[in-house]
Amino acid sequence: MKKFNVGVIGIGDISDVYLDNLKKYDIVNVVACAGRSLDKAGKKAEQHAIPKAYATSQELIEDPDIDIILNLTVPAVHAELTMQALNAGKHVYSEKPLAATLEEAERILALAKEKGLYVGCAPDTFLGGRLQTCRKIIDEGRIGEVTAATAFVVTPGPEMFHPNPDFFYKPGGGPLLDIGPYYMTTLLSLLGPVKSCCAMSKRTRLKRTIESEPRQGEIIDVEVETHITGNLEFVNGTIATMITSFDVWDSELPRIEIYGTEGTICINDVDPLDGPNLFGGPVFLRTRDNSRWNEVPRKKAYEEWEEVKVEHSFNEISQEKNSRGIGLVDMAYAIRDQREERASGKMAFHSLEAMEGLLKSAKEGIFYHVKSTFNRPEPLPVDFPRNEGMKTTY
């Protein structure tokens, strides 16, 4: 089996789960990492048994032994480093977002096409067992024709728990662009491309007080909209409503619901952040047979929902231990087999355009017509390989 050598740039906390997971797969081999200093890179290399450590991203990108760059740097430099890697002839898989602006993201895709290289992008949670089960229900026609959807992620704001929440309230941050990509990508993976969108938004407070240590009591400025309500019209005719907010103290809203002519899929959690940003969790289904409208008085909210068995892999419900990186692994197989990757740069670009379109709509009071498109990713096979000596043709 062909192996692809991977070099990792950006070795903060998020890198550990990637590096732990990539060891499980025969098709990729992490051979180098780079951080802000050689000392830091060396410690990360030693921790994960990585052969090479570099003091700078540029040194790693220029390494002729590397086939794929895993870009885990901060969003502000995603585009710059991805472009450098593409110019060096490397395929790239990036953490979200693909770039800080649409213009930068467009240049990335154009350069990748020119060079004949692959660009993949997180989030890859839509490849997890929960959302792949939702995809299977839809593809099998169990809820009939999909007509509408909702996606809700509402919290009181990251200053409640994050040690350095400033960047959430700077340009490029906010609830839509921070956690919204998980929800937008979920909708795109299930429903396909967006045709148009519109939104309203507000900035409830101009200043926030940090409530977490070590900066408890410090005041930070709010420079972005903190409550966005939007509507999305998909090419397939589905209408979706999306709410993202840092202004809501609590909620009983489901994270995602998909509505069809014959039934409803529901993703609901006790924890308000346990939605499409996790790989696993339960999937609930209601059809005409167990609808609460069949009798009066109606049943309680979660009586007699069918919990659909999740047969796919990658069904973790932990933020610390999860399957981040399966998008990169799938991209490696795609490069080998010359097919389209599932967590594609085109879908990440479309997601970014749709979210920017919502913000533009809210600011200017217009409908935004989405210009880009992408191919809805193929379902992930149930037996997508873990490193158990399994050989594969994917």
349 lies in some domain: no
135 lies in some domain: yes
- Confidence grade of residue 303 (pLDDT, cut at 50, 70, 90): low
Q: How far apart are CA 27 and CA 187, in angstroms?
A: 29
Q: Give the pLDDT score at 304.
A: 72
Which residue has better confidence, 300 or 256?
A: 256
360 lies in some domain: no
Instruction: Flag whether pLDDT at 292 surpasses 90.
Output: no
Which residues form the domain of 92? 4-125+322-342
232 lies in some domain: yes
362 lies in some domain: no
Q: Give the pLDDT score at 315.
A: 86
Tell whether 116 and 203 lie within a shared domain: no
Tell whether 120 and 23 lie within a shared domain: yes
Tell whether 290 and 326 lie within a shared domain: no
Tell whether 147 and 79 lie within a shared domain: no
Tell whether 210 and 300 lie within a shared domain: yes
Q: Give the pLDDT score at 71.
A: 98
Tell whether 61 and 171 lie within a shared domain: no
Distances (CA, A) of 177 to 44, 161, 268, 358: 29, 19, 22, 11
196 lies in some domain: yes
Tell whether 258 and 332 lie within a shared domain: no
- Confidence grade of residue 373 (pLDDT, cut at 50, 70, 90): very high
- What does the pLDDT average to over 10-26? 93
Residue that is last in its domain, among 283, 307, 331 = 307
Which residues are designated catalytic? 96
Instruction: Flag whether pLDDT at 297 surpasses 90.
Output: no
- Confidence grade of residue 254 (pLDDT, cut at 50, 70, 90): confident
Q: Give the pLDDT score at 252.
A: 83
- Confidence grade of residue 225 (pLDDT, cut at 50, 70, 90): very high
Which residue has better confidence, 127 or 298?
A: 127
- Rounded to the nearest 10°, the torsion over CA 323, 326, 328, 329 is 130
User: What is the percent of the chain with per-residue pLDDT over 90, rounded to a whole number?
Assistant: 79
Instruction: Flag whether pLDDT at 60 surpasses 50.
Output: yes
Tell whether 47 and 171 lie within a shared domain: no
Instruction: Flag whether pLDDT at 316 surpasses 90.
Output: no
Q: Give the pLDDT score at 293.
A: 77
Q: Give the pLDDT score at 317.
A: 82
Contacts of residues 77-81 at CB distance under 8 Å and 24 or more positions apart, as own/partner, are 78/104, 79/104, 79/105, 79/107, 79/108, 81/9, 81/57
Instruction: Flag whether pLDDT at 62 surpasses 80.
Output: yes
Tell whether 287 and 246 lie within a shared domain: yes
Tell whether 177 and 302 lie within a shared domain: yes
**Domain count along the chain:** 2
394 lies in some domain: no
Q: Give the pLDDT score at 394.
A: 37
Q: Give the pLDDT score at 290.
A: 82
- What does the pLDDT average to over 95-119? 96
Tell whether 31 and 148 lie within a shared domain: no
262 lies in some domain: yes
Q: Which of 203, 300, 297, 293 is nearest to 252 (CA)?
A: 300
| Per-residue model confidence as pLDDT tens digits over 325-342 | 999 999 999 999 999 999
Q: Give the pLDDT score at 389.
A: 37
What is the pTM for the complete model shown?
0.93
Q: Give the pLDDT score at 321.
A: 80
Q: How far apart are CA 264 and CA 304, in angstroms?
A: 13
Tell whether 248 and 270 lie within a shared domain: yes
Instruction: Flag whether pLDDT at 305 surpasses 90.
Output: no
The CATH code of the domain that includes 93 is 3.40.50.720
The CATH code of the domain that includes 293 is 3.30.360.10
Which residue has better confidence, 296 or 242?
A: 242
Q: Give the pLDDT score at 89.
A: 98
